[in-house]
Amino acid sequence: MSKRYPQRGQVYTLQQIMRDLSLDDSPSLTIYRKDATGHTRGPLQNAHFTDEQLFTIPEAADSLWRYERTTNEWIPCFTYVGPEADLDKWIDFEPWVEMGGEISEAHHWATPKLLPRKQHVYNDDGCFEVSFVDHQLTLTKASN
C-alpha cells in the first residue's frame, strides 16, 4: 500500500488524519476561535490520551481540519475548519496561562471534555497547577 501524505489546503476529518495519512510526527492541531476577549488560538492538547480514546467522542472523530504545512521539524500542522459552534460540544476552553502566571489575551488552552488535562506553570518557586474558579485564576503548588 502506498503512503498517503496530506495535501496543502485539503480538509480531512480528525479520524482520517490519525488513521489514514502518513505523517512524520504527531500532528499539531490548532483551533482559532472568537470568544468574549476577541480572537484566540491554541493547540488541542492531545499528548495525554490515545487516538482510540479520542475517537470515543463522536464529534472529535468527524471534526474537520485543513492541512496547512509541515514544519522544519517535520511536524504536520492542521487548523480546525468545522463549525465553531461544534467545538463547544466536545472541547473545553480556558485562558492560556503564561509561565509567570499571567493570562494570555491571544491564546487558549483546549482539551477534549472527556479527556481533561490541567495546565501547569513553572517559576523560581516550582511547579503550579492552574485552575479557574468563577473565572478567577488560582495557582496551586503541584506535588512532586
Residue 77 inside a domain? The answer is: yes
The pLDDT tens digits of the residues spanning 52-65 come to 888 888 899 999 99
Residues in CB range of 144: below 8 A, 6 or more apart: none
Look at residue 126 in the predicted model and tell me its pLDDT.
81
Domain count along the chain: 1
Look at residue 37 in the predicted model and tell me its pLDDT.
62
Burial class (CB in 10 A: 0-12, 13-18, 19+), 60: buried
Average pLDDT, integer, range 25-29? 92
Domain carrying residue 90: 11-116
Phi and psi, residue 101, nearest 5°: 95, 5
Residue 139 inside a domain? The answer is: no
- Write down the pTM of the prediction: 0.80
Alpha-carbon distance of 4 to 26, in angstroms, equals: 15
The pLDDT tens digits of the residues spanning 80-118 come to 999 988 988 988 888 878 777 777 777 788 888 887 777
Residue 44 inside a domain? The answer is: yes
Residue 141 inside a domain? The answer is: no
Residue 3 inside a domain? The answer is: no
